[in-house]
Structure 1
């Protein structure tokens, strides 16, 4: 497992093995996605969305758009 230190300016040098695993180079963009409190997923924003295929488990059951909208609304009100 790789580690890095945050500087006083909030900067982090990404270890070379992590850069290789993400196939990122100088000037590439990263997205930080909070997946739960205290856990963040780092995604190279230079890749296609199709590169994420297979990284997430399929849902146990199908959800309708109405159910998705309802869940989004509940979460938005919870965060306010």
Structure 2
């Protein structure tokens, strides 16, 4: 396996499927001595969860889901 000039490596499909790593999955690198371990990120380290946690409670206007959908759709 070869590392590209951008530091990228292709994870073989068999390994991705076995480990549940799909497009846009978050992964972690763990260094143990001279060994590097790639593992699927777990729990609160996932990007989407981190974003939601950071944004929670920051809204300045209270809106229901129906209000938000109407605004998004351009309904009056």
Give the TM-score normalised by structure 2.
Answer: 0.50
Name which one, 1 or 2, has greater alpha-carbon Rg.
Answer: 2
In terms of fraction of residues, the more helix-rich structure is 2
TM-score by length of 1: 0.48
